[in-house]
Structure 1
Amino acid sequence: MSDLDWSTPDGLAAIRDHLAARIEGWRPPVAHAVGLSPASSSPEWVFPHVNAPGGQHGLSAVVLATVLGHDGSTATLPLSRAELAAAVESLEPAQACSDVPHPNLEAWRRVVDELDGNPAREARAVFVADLDDPVTSEADGSMRATFEGHAPEL
């Protein structure tokens, strides 16, 4: 992928498409996020950044799916610190494009830091292919609850 351009929005779109073509059965999720298990008495999962329906951050979904060997279907997947660090490393070249923000990269770094500082916490990757799909976990329900006008059934 060294010939692909990480410095422009069009280049990032081409990289997204290149990676997506390598995932059998890939379909872009309508929403995705990386969440942390509750740190206190709160039962809610914590999501430093949620890619809600209508978002524009398809490259992060493909990078995360590539690391996890996932096809973008609705699922909640365990995410080790090493897997998340690999996703961060894979997405870091996108910083060369200063025309767009990189909220997933920032959020994923915060999750890695939290996992380092509190080994009792766990991370999950949540993908939602279709909002009508059943909720797959408490983490999924917590993420979907952040969508405006959407109240998931658990």
Structure 2
Amino acid sequence: MTPTSNADWSTPEGLKAIKEAVAATIPGWQPPTAYAVGLSSASSSPEPEFPHINAPGGAHNLPGVILAKVLGHDGSTATIDLTAAQLESAVATLAPAEACTTVEHPNLAAWRHVLGELRSNPARTAYAVYVGDLDDPVTSEADAALRTHL
């Protein structure tokens, strides 16, 4: 997936334009209040792991749009199983954003961590959790766990 052919990945303004261009290609897209990529626990604890959470008011919206595009999701409240191939696609699509050195890229670091965990322990599962509105019904245990971190 190529967000735009003449995209400027090196500036915050360019990243914002890319986000808007990708979002415009997602039918019904609504920016979520919060989102994260989660990973099933590696221990006996049922608590999922969220290496990075995009909380309400956060500035990192491009990753959520790119992930939604890969998943065919509209940003509404949902928990979506995430394959390693889908996450690899999202990482590859978002990686050019690292050219912008004036902002941090915590989602890329978190997604790469999740990919490493999936590769080293095939019993673990990953998922994307989107919370469209905090008043929406909880969609899964992972959604409930994410909301407790907010």
TM-score normalised over the length of structure 2: 0.97
Structure 1: 5+ residue runs without aligned partners?
A: 148-154
SS at match of 1:126: strand
Query: Is 1:47 aligned to 2:50, yes or no?
Result: yes
Cα deviation, residue 4, structure 1: 1.4
Tell me the residue number matched to 1:130: 133
Tell me the residue number matched to 1:6: 9
Tell me the residue number matched to 1:108: 111
Q: Report how many aligned residue pairs link the two structures.
A: 147
Identity %: 63
Tell me the residue number matched to 1:97: 100
SS at match of 2:62: helix
TM-score normalised over the length of structure 1: 0.94
Structure 2: 5+ residue runs without aligned partners?
A: none
Cα deviation, residue 38, structure 1: 1.2
RMSD of Structure 2 on Structure 1 (CA):
0.5
Tell me the residue number matched to 1:150: none
Deviations 1:16-71 (A, max 9, x none): 00000000000000100000011111110000000011101110010000000000
Cα deviation, residue 2, structure 1: 2.6
Tell me the residue number matched to 1:38: 41
Distance in 2 of aligned mates of 1:138 and 1:37: 11
Q: Which of residues 71, 74, 93 in structure 1 aligns to 2:74?
A: 71
Tell me the residue number matched to 1:151: none
Distance in 1 of aligned mates of 2:144 and 2:55: 13
Distance in 1 of aligned mates of 2:38 and 2:7: 30
SS at match of 1:25: coil
Distance in 2 of aligned mates of 1:101 and 1:66: 22
Runs of 4+ deviating beyond 2 Å: none
Distance in 2 of aligned mates of 1:24 and 1:136: 21
